[in-house]
Structure 1
Amino acid sequence: MEFTFTIIYLVIIATIIEINTILFAVTGIKRQVARFQVISLMTGTGFTTGESEVILGHPFRRKLGIFLILFGAFSFAVVVSSLSSILSNDVLTPKVLYIEAGLILLFLLLKMPFFQKNLSDKLKEKSEETFEIDELPVSQILLTDEADCLLEIKIDEKSSYISKSINECIHKDEDILVLFLMRGELRIRNKLNDCKIQAGDRLLVYGDKQLIEEKFREEIKKSEKETV
Protein backbone atom coordinates (compact mmCIF):
# COMPACT_ATOMS: atom_id res chain seq x y z
CA MET A 1 0.00 0.00 0.00
CA GLU A 2 2.77 2.44 0.93
CA PHE A 3 4.60 1.54 -2.28
CA THR A 4 1.50 2.29 -4.38
CA PHE A 5 1.04 5.62 -2.64
CA THR A 6 4.69 6.55 -3.23
CA ILE A 7 4.43 5.76 -6.95
CA ILE A 8 1.25 7.85 -7.31
CA TYR A 9 2.80 10.77 -5.46
CA LEU A 10 5.99 10.67 -7.56
CA VAL A 11 3.98 10.53 -10.79
CA ILE A 12 1.97 13.61 -9.75
CA ILE A 13 5.15 15.53 -8.83
CA ALA A 14 6.89 14.51 -12.08
CA THR A 15 3.86 15.53 -14.15
CA ILE A 16 3.65 18.94 -12.47
CA ILE A 17 7.37 19.47 -13.14
CA GLU A 18 6.96 18.62 -16.83
CA ILE A 19 3.84 20.80 -17.23
CA ASN A 20 5.59 23.82 -15.76
CA THR A 21 8.75 23.10 -17.74
CA ILE A 22 6.72 23.30 -20.95
CA LEU A 23 4.99 26.50 -19.81
CA PHE A 24 8.35 28.13 -19.04
CA ALA A 25 9.71 26.94 -22.40
CA VAL A 26 6.69 28.45 -24.18
CA THR A 27 7.71 31.86 -22.80
CA GLY A 28 11.14 31.56 -24.44
CA ILE A 29 13.37 29.77 -21.92
CA LYS A 30 15.43 26.80 -23.14
CA ARG A 31 13.93 23.46 -22.06
CA GLN A 32 16.98 22.37 -20.01
CA VAL A 33 17.13 25.69 -18.16
CA ALA A 34 13.35 25.67 -17.65
CA ARG A 35 13.39 22.23 -16.00
CA PHE A 36 16.23 23.27 -13.68
CA GLN A 37 14.37 26.43 -12.69
CA VAL A 38 11.15 24.51 -12.04
CA ILE A 39 12.87 22.01 -9.75
CA SER A 40 14.78 24.83 -8.07
CA LEU A 41 11.61 26.78 -7.35
CA MET A 42 9.80 23.72 -6.01
CA THR A 43 12.62 22.67 -3.71
CA GLY A 44 13.95 26.13 -2.84
CA THR A 45 17.48 25.22 -3.92
CA GLY A 46 19.74 26.26 -6.79
CA PHE A 47 17.67 29.30 -7.80
CA THR A 48 20.67 31.54 -8.57
CA THR A 49 20.46 35.34 -8.62
CA GLY A 50 21.58 35.64 -12.25
CA GLU A 51 19.08 33.15 -13.61
CA SER A 52 16.31 34.32 -11.30
CA GLU A 53 16.22 37.58 -13.26
CA VAL A 54 15.01 35.59 -16.27
CA ILE A 55 12.02 34.46 -14.23
CA LEU A 56 11.34 37.69 -12.36
CA GLY A 57 11.52 39.81 -15.51
CA HIS A 58 8.52 38.15 -17.16
CA PRO A 59 4.95 38.51 -15.79
CA PHE A 60 3.71 35.01 -16.67
CA ARG A 61 6.92 33.37 -15.41
CA ARG A 62 6.50 35.19 -12.10
CA LYS A 63 3.04 33.67 -11.69
CA LEU A 64 4.38 30.20 -12.45
CA GLY A 65 7.21 30.82 -9.99
CA ILE A 66 4.79 31.82 -7.23
CA PHE A 67 2.76 28.65 -7.82
CA LEU A 68 5.84 26.42 -7.75
CA ILE A 69 7.23 28.01 -4.59
CA LEU A 70 3.90 27.60 -2.79
CA PHE A 71 3.40 24.10 -4.15
CA GLY A 72 6.89 23.09 -3.10
CA ALA A 73 6.38 24.54 0.39
CA PHE A 74 3.06 22.87 1.10
CA SER A 75 2.91 19.81 -1.17
CA PHE A 76 4.86 17.44 1.06
CA ALA A 77 2.49 18.15 3.94
CA VAL A 78 -0.85 18.87 2.27
CA VAL A 79 -0.69 16.41 -0.65
CA VAL A 80 0.60 13.58 1.53
CA SER A 81 -2.13 14.23 4.07
CA SER A 82 -4.84 14.43 1.39
CA LEU A 83 -3.77 11.31 -0.46
CA SER A 84 -3.34 9.41 2.79
CA SER A 85 -6.91 10.19 3.74
CA ILE A 86 -8.13 9.14 0.27
CA LEU A 87 -6.22 5.87 0.58
CA SER A 88 -7.16 5.28 4.20
CA ASN A 89 -9.46 2.41 3.27
CA ASP A 90 -6.63 0.53 1.58
CA VAL A 91 -8.37 1.04 -1.76
CA LEU A 92 -7.11 3.02 -4.77
CA THR A 93 -10.11 5.36 -5.12
CA PRO A 94 -11.14 6.95 -8.44
CA LYS A 95 -10.31 10.41 -7.02
CA VAL A 96 -6.60 9.73 -7.20
CA LEU A 97 -6.91 8.40 -10.72
CA TYR A 98 -8.91 11.48 -11.76
CA ILE A 99 -6.20 13.82 -10.45
CA GLU A 100 -3.45 11.84 -12.14
CA ALA A 101 -5.39 11.48 -15.41
CA GLY A 102 -6.16 15.21 -15.47
CA LEU A 103 -2.51 16.16 -15.02
CA ILE A 104 -1.37 13.69 -17.68
CA LEU A 105 -4.01 14.99 -20.11
CA LEU A 106 -2.84 18.57 -19.53
CA PHE A 107 0.76 17.46 -20.03
CA LEU A 108 -0.08 15.74 -23.35
CA LEU A 109 -1.95 18.82 -24.57
CA LEU A 110 0.99 21.06 -23.76
CA LYS A 111 3.32 18.71 -25.64
CA MET A 112 1.47 19.38 -28.91
CA PRO A 113 3.39 21.93 -31.07
CA PHE A 114 0.29 23.78 -32.29
CA PHE A 115 -0.99 24.10 -28.71
CA GLN A 116 2.37 25.48 -27.57
CA LYS A 117 2.45 27.98 -30.46
CA ASN A 118 -1.07 29.23 -29.74
CA LEU A 119 -0.31 29.53 -26.04
CA SER A 120 2.95 31.36 -26.75
CA ASP A 121 1.18 33.85 -29.04
CA LYS A 122 -1.56 34.49 -26.50
CA LEU A 123 0.91 35.00 -23.66
CA LYS A 124 2.94 37.39 -25.79
CA GLU A 125 -0.14 39.43 -26.75
CA LYS A 126 -1.34 39.50 -23.14
CA SER A 127 2.06 40.67 -21.87
CA GLU A 128 2.24 43.44 -24.45
CA GLU A 129 -1.29 44.65 -23.70
CA THR A 130 -1.19 44.39 -19.91
CA PHE A 131 2.32 45.40 -18.91
CA GLU A 132 4.39 48.51 -19.47
CA ILE A 133 7.43 48.11 -21.70
CA ASP A 134 9.85 48.50 -18.76
CA GLU A 135 8.19 45.51 -17.04
CA LEU A 136 8.89 43.16 -19.95
CA PRO A 137 12.16 41.20 -20.32
CA VAL A 138 14.74 42.62 -22.72
CA SER A 139 14.54 39.57 -24.96
CA GLN A 140 10.81 40.06 -25.50
CA ILE A 141 11.32 43.71 -26.46
CA LEU A 142 14.42 43.48 -28.65
CA LEU A 143 14.58 39.91 -29.91
CA THR A 144 11.35 39.80 -31.87
CA ASP A 145 12.83 38.05 -34.90
CA GLU A 146 15.19 35.11 -35.41
CA ALA A 147 17.66 37.46 -37.11
CA ASP A 148 17.82 39.77 -34.06
CA CYS A 149 20.81 39.49 -31.75
CA LEU A 150 21.88 41.11 -28.47
CA LEU A 151 25.47 40.31 -27.58
CA GLU A 152 28.29 41.51 -25.35
CA ILE A 153 31.58 41.81 -27.24
CA LYS A 154 34.78 41.67 -25.18
CA ILE A 155 37.75 43.56 -26.60
CA ASP A 156 41.17 42.10 -25.74
CA GLU A 157 44.63 43.54 -26.36
CA LYS A 158 44.91 41.80 -29.77
CA SER A 159 41.61 43.07 -31.19
CA SER A 160 41.75 44.95 -34.48
CA TYR A 161 39.24 47.47 -33.13
CA ILE A 162 41.54 48.98 -30.50
CA SER A 163 42.07 52.76 -30.87
CA LYS A 164 39.20 52.96 -33.37
CA SER A 165 35.98 54.85 -32.72
CA ILE A 166 32.57 53.18 -32.90
CA ASN A 167 31.90 55.11 -36.13
CA GLU A 168 35.08 53.68 -37.64
CA CYS A 169 34.16 50.13 -36.64
CA ILE A 170 30.51 50.14 -37.66
CA HIS A 171 29.33 51.87 -40.80
CA LYS A 172 26.07 53.79 -40.89
CA ASP A 173 24.49 51.41 -43.41
CA GLU A 174 25.19 48.33 -41.24
CA ASP A 175 22.34 46.99 -39.17
CA ILE A 176 24.29 47.10 -35.90
CA LEU A 177 23.75 49.41 -32.95
CA VAL A 178 26.11 49.75 -29.97
CA LEU A 179 23.88 50.36 -26.96
CA PHE A 180 26.71 51.24 -24.60
CA LEU A 181 30.36 50.58 -23.81
CA MET A 182 31.53 49.23 -20.46
CA ARG A 183 35.01 50.29 -19.34
CA GLY A 184 35.58 48.79 -15.92
CA GLU A 185 32.68 50.04 -13.81
CA LEU A 186 32.06 52.98 -16.15
CA ARG A 187 29.16 52.73 -18.61
CA ILE A 188 29.63 55.08 -21.59
CA ARG A 189 26.62 56.21 -23.62
CA ASN A 190 27.20 59.94 -24.12
CA LYS A 191 29.02 60.70 -27.40
CA LEU A 192 29.52 56.97 -27.78
CA ASN A 193 30.13 57.02 -31.55
CA ASP A 194 33.28 59.11 -31.12
CA CYS A 195 34.64 57.04 -28.24
CA LYS A 196 37.94 55.27 -28.93
CA ILE A 197 37.85 51.56 -28.07
CA GLN A 198 40.44 50.30 -25.56
CA ALA A 199 41.60 46.83 -24.52
CA GLY A 200 39.31 45.46 -21.83
CA ASP A 201 36.24 47.32 -23.08
CA ARG A 202 32.95 45.49 -23.45
CA LEU A 203 30.45 46.51 -26.12
CA LEU A 204 26.77 45.69 -25.87
CA VAL A 205 25.70 45.40 -29.51
CA TYR A 206 22.25 44.87 -31.01
CA GLY A 207 21.25 44.16 -34.58
CA ASP A 208 21.44 41.57 -37.33
CA LYS A 209 22.80 38.31 -35.90
CA GLN A 210 24.71 37.22 -39.00
CA LEU A 211 26.30 40.63 -39.47
CA ILE A 212 27.37 40.85 -35.82
CA GLU A 213 28.89 37.36 -35.92
CA GLU A 214 30.83 38.22 -39.08
CA LYS A 215 32.12 41.59 -37.87
CA PHE A 216 33.15 40.38 -34.41
CA ARG A 217 34.12 36.83 -35.40
CA GLU A 218 37.50 36.83 -33.67
CA GLU A 219 36.22 38.44 -30.47
CA ILE A 220 33.35 35.94 -30.25
CA LYS A 221 35.68 32.97 -30.83
CA LYS A 222 38.00 34.10 -28.04
CA SER A 223 35.09 34.57 -25.64
CA GLU A 224 33.79 31.09 -26.44
CA LYS A 225 37.22 29.58 -25.77
CA GLU A 226 37.36 31.32 -22.38
CA THR A 227 34.03 29.81 -21.34
CA VAL A 228 34.96 26.25 -22.33
Structure 2
Amino acid sequence: MMNVVFMVLYFLIIGLVIEISVTLLKLTGLKNTVARFQVISMLTGTGFTTDESKSIIDHPVRRKISMFLILFGAFSLAVIISSISTLLTDDLRLMELSIIIGILTILTITVKTPFINNRLSNKMQSEMHNHYELWEHPIEEVLFLENEDVVMQIDINEDSEFIDVITFDIVSRGVDINILYIESGEAKIRKELNEHKIKLGDNLFLYGNKNEIEETFSKEIEAMNKKENAS
Protein backbone atom coordinates (compact mmCIF):
# COMPACT_ATOMS: atom_id res chain seq x y z
CA MET A 1 0.00 0.00 0.00
CA MET A 2 2.79 2.41 0.90
CA ASN A 3 4.49 1.64 -2.43
CA VAL A 4 1.32 2.63 -4.28
CA VAL A 5 1.09 5.89 -2.32
CA PHE A 6 4.74 6.64 -3.14
CA MET A 7 4.21 6.04 -6.87
CA VAL A 8 1.06 8.16 -6.92
CA LEU A 9 2.85 11.02 -5.18
CA TYR A 10 5.84 10.84 -7.51
CA PHE A 11 3.66 10.79 -10.62
CA LEU A 12 1.89 13.83 -9.20
CA ILE A 13 5.28 15.57 -8.99
CA ILE A 14 5.94 14.68 -12.65
CA GLY A 15 2.52 16.08 -13.61
CA LEU A 16 3.26 19.36 -11.83
CA VAL A 17 6.68 19.64 -13.48
CA ILE A 18 4.98 19.13 -16.86
CA GLU A 19 2.44 21.89 -16.15
CA ILE A 20 5.11 24.37 -15.03
CA SER A 21 7.32 23.60 -18.05
CA VAL A 22 4.42 23.90 -20.50
CA THR A 23 3.49 27.29 -19.03
CA LEU A 24 7.08 28.56 -19.29
CA LEU A 25 7.40 27.38 -22.91
CA LYS A 26 4.11 29.07 -23.78
CA LEU A 27 5.55 32.30 -22.40
CA THR A 28 8.38 32.03 -24.95
CA GLY A 29 5.83 32.00 -27.78
CA LEU A 30 5.06 28.30 -28.32
CA LYS A 31 1.46 27.16 -28.81
CA ASN A 32 -0.05 25.12 -25.95
CA THR A 33 -0.36 21.88 -27.95
CA VAL A 34 3.20 22.13 -29.27
CA ALA A 35 4.61 23.00 -25.85
CA ARG A 36 2.87 20.08 -24.13
CA PHE A 37 3.94 17.56 -26.77
CA GLN A 38 7.55 18.72 -26.65
CA VAL A 39 7.65 18.70 -22.82
CA ILE A 40 6.38 15.11 -22.65
CA SER A 41 8.73 14.11 -25.47
CA MET A 42 11.77 15.52 -23.66
CA LEU A 43 10.69 14.22 -20.27
CA THR A 44 10.25 10.67 -21.52
CA GLY A 45 13.28 10.73 -23.80
CA THR A 46 11.26 9.56 -26.79
CA GLY A 47 13.23 11.82 -29.13
CA PHE A 48 10.54 12.82 -31.62
CA THR A 49 12.19 14.76 -34.47
CA THR A 50 9.24 16.91 -35.50
CA ASP A 51 9.44 20.34 -37.12
CA GLU A 52 8.43 21.82 -33.77
CA SER A 53 11.49 20.36 -32.05
CA LYS A 54 13.67 22.69 -34.13
CA SER A 55 11.86 25.62 -32.53
CA ILE A 56 13.16 24.37 -29.17
CA ILE A 57 16.75 23.93 -30.34
CA ASP A 58 16.90 27.34 -32.02
CA HIS A 59 15.70 29.25 -28.93
CA PRO A 60 18.22 29.81 -26.09
CA VAL A 61 15.61 30.08 -23.30
CA ARG A 62 13.70 27.01 -24.49
CA ARG A 63 16.98 25.07 -24.65
CA LYS A 64 17.56 25.71 -20.92
CA ILE A 65 14.07 24.43 -20.07
CA SER A 66 14.58 21.38 -22.28
CA MET A 67 17.91 20.54 -20.61
CA PHE A 68 16.21 20.50 -17.21
CA LEU A 69 13.40 18.28 -18.54
CA ILE A 70 15.82 15.79 -20.09
CA LEU A 71 17.81 15.50 -16.85
CA PHE A 72 14.67 15.33 -14.70
CA GLY A 73 13.22 12.68 -17.01
CA ALA A 74 16.34 10.51 -16.69
CA PHE A 75 16.26 10.89 -12.89
CA SER A 76 12.53 10.09 -12.75
CA LEU A 77 12.99 6.94 -14.80
CA ALA A 78 15.67 5.75 -12.37
CA VAL A 79 13.41 6.47 -9.38
CA ILE A 80 10.43 4.65 -10.91
CA ILE A 81 12.50 1.60 -11.88
CA SER A 82 14.05 1.50 -8.42
CA SER A 83 10.62 1.76 -6.78
CA ILE A 84 9.15 -1.09 -8.81
CA SER A 85 12.14 -3.44 -8.76
CA THR A 86 13.08 -3.22 -5.06
CA LEU A 87 9.54 -2.68 -3.74
CA LEU A 88 11.34 -0.21 -1.48
CA THR A 89 11.50 -0.40 2.27
CA ASP A 90 9.54 1.27 5.01
CA ASP A 91 11.58 4.45 4.45
CA LEU A 92 9.48 5.86 1.63
CA ARG A 93 9.98 9.49 2.65
CA LEU A 94 6.33 10.30 2.01
CA MET A 95 6.59 13.43 4.11
CA GLU A 96 9.40 14.82 1.95
CA LEU A 97 7.45 13.98 -1.22
CA SER A 98 4.37 15.71 0.19
CA ILE A 99 6.40 18.85 0.87
CA ILE A 100 7.80 18.82 -2.68
CA ILE A 101 4.29 18.39 -4.08
CA GLY A 102 3.09 21.34 -1.99
CA ILE A 103 5.91 23.56 -3.25
CA LEU A 104 5.33 22.54 -6.89
CA THR A 105 1.57 23.08 -6.56
CA ILE A 106 2.13 26.62 -5.30
CA LEU A 107 4.67 27.22 -8.09
CA THR A 108 2.24 25.89 -10.73
CA ILE A 109 -0.55 28.18 -9.54
CA THR A 110 1.88 31.11 -9.35
CA VAL A 111 3.25 30.82 -12.92
CA LYS A 112 -0.30 30.52 -14.29
CA THR A 113 -1.57 33.77 -12.75
CA PRO A 114 -1.91 36.59 -15.33
CA PHE A 115 0.30 39.02 -13.39
CA ILE A 116 3.21 36.56 -13.05
CA ASN A 117 2.61 35.41 -16.65
CA ASN A 118 3.15 38.93 -17.94
CA ARG A 119 6.19 39.48 -15.72
CA LEU A 120 7.83 36.22 -16.84
CA SER A 121 7.00 36.87 -20.49
CA ASN A 122 8.59 40.33 -20.33
CA LYS A 123 11.57 38.87 -18.48
CA MET A 124 12.13 36.24 -21.17
CA GLN A 125 11.84 38.81 -23.96
CA SER A 126 14.31 41.03 -22.11
CA GLU A 127 16.65 38.05 -21.69
CA MET A 128 16.59 37.38 -25.43
CA HIS A 129 17.05 41.05 -26.30
CA ASN A 130 19.85 41.86 -23.85
CA HIS A 131 21.92 38.67 -23.73
CA TYR A 132 21.69 37.14 -27.20
CA GLU A 133 22.82 38.47 -30.56
CA LEU A 134 20.26 38.84 -33.34
CA TRP A 135 21.61 35.79 -35.20
CA GLU A 136 20.96 33.64 -32.09
CA HIS A 137 17.22 34.37 -32.17
CA PRO A 138 14.85 31.91 -33.92
CA ILE A 139 14.42 32.79 -37.58
CA GLU A 140 10.65 33.26 -37.23
CA GLU A 141 11.15 35.96 -34.60
CA VAL A 142 13.65 37.85 -36.76
CA LEU A 143 12.18 37.52 -40.25
CA PHE A 144 8.51 36.70 -39.89
CA LEU A 145 6.95 40.09 -39.28
CA GLU A 146 3.44 38.94 -40.23
CA ASN A 147 1.54 35.65 -40.04
CA GLU A 148 1.83 35.02 -43.78
CA ASP A 149 5.62 35.51 -43.98
CA VAL A 150 7.62 32.47 -45.09
CA VAL A 151 11.01 31.39 -46.40
CA MET A 152 10.57 29.17 -49.43
CA GLN A 153 12.72 27.40 -52.02
CA ILE A 154 11.60 27.49 -55.65
CA ASP A 155 13.13 25.19 -58.28
CA ILE A 156 13.27 26.56 -61.82
CA ASN A 157 12.07 23.81 -64.20
CA GLU A 158 11.98 23.67 -67.98
CA ASP A 159 8.44 25.08 -68.14
CA SER A 160 9.20 28.09 -65.96
CA GLU A 161 8.41 31.49 -67.41
CA PHE A 162 11.34 33.00 -65.48
CA ILE A 163 14.13 31.35 -67.48
CA ASP A 164 16.41 34.07 -68.91
CA VAL A 165 14.66 36.68 -66.75
CA ILE A 166 16.80 39.06 -64.67
CA THR A 167 16.00 38.65 -60.97
CA PHE A 168 15.53 42.41 -60.62
CA ASP A 169 12.56 42.16 -62.98
CA ILE A 170 10.85 39.73 -60.59
CA VAL A 171 11.21 41.72 -57.37
CA SER A 172 10.52 45.06 -59.06
CA ARG A 173 6.94 44.11 -59.89
CA GLY A 174 5.72 45.53 -56.58
CA VAL A 175 5.21 42.10 -55.00
CA ASP A 176 6.11 41.35 -51.38
CA ILE A 177 8.91 38.95 -52.37
CA ASN A 178 12.63 39.15 -51.63
CA ILE A 179 15.27 36.86 -53.09
CA LEU A 180 17.72 35.86 -50.35
CA TYR A 181 20.11 34.05 -52.69
CA ILE A 182 20.16 31.77 -55.72
CA GLU A 183 21.74 28.36 -55.93
CA SER A 184 22.98 27.98 -59.50
CA GLY A 185 24.90 24.74 -59.99
CA GLU A 186 27.69 24.72 -57.40
CA ALA A 187 27.53 28.48 -56.91
CA LYS A 188 25.46 30.29 -54.31
CA ILE A 189 24.83 33.77 -55.67
CA ARG A 190 24.20 36.67 -53.31
CA LYS A 191 26.44 39.43 -54.63
CA GLU A 192 25.06 41.29 -57.63
CA LEU A 193 21.93 39.19 -57.22
CA ASN A 194 19.65 41.56 -59.10
CA GLU A 195 21.79 41.21 -62.24
CA HIS A 196 21.64 37.41 -62.34
CA LYS A 197 19.83 35.90 -65.31
CA ILE A 198 17.80 32.91 -64.11
CA LYS A 199 18.68 29.60 -65.74
CA LEU A 200 17.12 26.16 -65.90
CA GLY A 201 17.94 24.24 -62.71
CA ASP A 202 18.43 27.33 -60.52
CA ASN A 203 17.03 27.20 -56.99
CA LEU A 204 15.61 30.46 -55.69
CA PHE A 205 15.46 31.00 -51.92
CA LEU A 206 12.70 33.52 -51.28
CA TYR A 207 11.41 35.47 -48.30
CA GLY A 208 8.09 37.26 -48.30
CA ASN A 209 4.33 36.87 -48.30
CA LYS A 210 3.31 33.22 -48.72
CA ASN A 211 0.26 33.96 -50.89
CA GLU A 212 2.20 36.24 -53.25
CA ILE A 213 5.04 33.73 -53.61
CA GLU A 214 2.56 30.94 -54.39
CA GLU A 215 0.74 33.13 -56.89
CA THR A 216 3.89 34.38 -58.63
CA PHE A 217 5.54 30.95 -58.79
CA SER A 218 2.40 28.81 -59.12
CA LYS A 219 3.71 26.83 -62.12
CA GLU A 220 7.03 26.11 -60.44
CA ILE A 221 5.37 25.02 -57.19
CA GLU A 222 2.95 22.78 -59.09
CA ALA A 223 5.85 21.11 -60.90
CA MET A 224 7.72 20.66 -57.60
CA ASN A 225 4.67 19.03 -56.00
CA LYS A 226 4.23 16.65 -58.93
CA LYS A 227 7.90 15.68 -58.76
CA GLU A 228 7.67 15.09 -55.01
CA ASN A 229 4.54 12.93 -55.35
CA ALA A 230 6.10 10.90 -58.13
CA SER A 231 9.24 10.07 -56.12
2:175 aligned residue:
174
2:76 aligned residue:
75
TM-fit CA distance, 1:62: 1.9
TM-fit CA distance, 1:139: 1.9
TM-fit CA distance, 1:207: 2.8
1:127 aligned residue:
128
Which stretches in structure 1 are left out of the alignment for 5+ residues?
A: none
What are the residue-to-residue correspondences of 1:10-21 with 2, within 5 Å? 10-21=11-22
- Provide Cα deviations, 1:24-58, integer angstroms capped at 9, x if missing partner: 33323444443343334334342549766533332
Q: Which 10-residue stretch deviates more, 218-227 or 22-31? A: 218-227
Q: Supply the distance in 1 between the matched residues of 2:18 and 2:185 (Cα, whole angstroms).
A: 41
2:67 aligned residue:
66
Q: Which 10-residue stretch deviates more, 108-117 or 211-220? A: 108-117
Q: Could you tell me which amino acid in structure 2 is paired with residue 60 of structure 1?
A: V
Q: Supply the distance in 2 between the matched residues of 1:29 and 1:45 (Cα, whole angstroms).
A: 20
The answer to whether residue 25 in structure 2 is matched with residue 24 in structure 1 is: yes
Alignment RMSD (CA, Å): 3.9
Q: Which 10-residue stretch deviates more, 118-127 or 129-138? A: 118-127
Q: Supply the distance in 2 between the matched residues of 1:215 and 1:118 (Cα, whole angstroms).
A: 43
Q: Supply the distance in 2 between the matched residues of 1:32 and 1:224 (Cα, whole angstroms).
A: 29
Q: Which 10-residue stretch deviates more, 198-207 or 121-130? A: 198-207
TM-score by length of 2: 0.72
Q: Which 10-residue stretch deviates more, 156-165 or 173-182? A: 156-165
Q: Which 10-residue stretch deviates more, 122-131 or 204-213? A: 204-213
2:206 aligned residue:
205
Q: Could you tell me which amino acid in structure 1 is paired with residue 25 of structure 2?
A: F
Q: Supply the distance in 2 between the matched residues of 1:199 and 1:112 (Cα, whole angstroms).
A: 57
Structure with bigger gyration radius:
2
1:187 aligned residue:
188
Q: Could you tell me which amino acid in structure 2 is paired with residue 176 of structure 1?
A: I
Q: Which 10-residue stretch deviates more, 129-138 or 212-221? A: 212-221
Say which SS state the counterpart of residue 25 (structure 1) adopts.
helix
TM-score by length of 1: 0.72
Say which SS state the counterpart of residue 150 (structure 2) adopts.
strand
Q: Which 10-residue stretch deviates more, 167-176 or 65-74? A: 167-176
2:138 aligned residue:
137
- Provide Cα deviations, 1:162-186, integer angstroms capped at 9, x if missing partner: 3323222221643321111234554
Q: Which 10-residue stretch deviates more, 170-179 or 29-38? A: 29-38
Contact 2:7 2:80 in 1 (8 A): no
TM-fit CA distance, 1:127: 0.6
Which stretches in structure 2 are left out of the alignment for 5+ residues?
A: none
TM-fit CA distance, 1:12: 2.1
Say which SS state the counterpart of residue 152 (structure 2) adopts.
strand
Q: Supply the distance in 2 between the matched residues of 1:114 and 1:196 (Cα, whole angstroms).
A: 56
Say which SS state the counterpart of residue 197 (structure 2) adopts.
coil
2:6 aligned residue:
5
Q: Supply the distance in 2 between the matched residues of 1:112 and 1:221 (Cα, whole angstroms).
A: 48
TM-fit CA distance, 1:111: 5.0
2:35 aligned residue:
34
TM-fit CA distance, 1:68: 1.6
Relative to structure 1, the CA distance from residue 18 to residue 160 in structure 2 (aligned partners, 3 Å threshold; closer, same or farther) is: farther
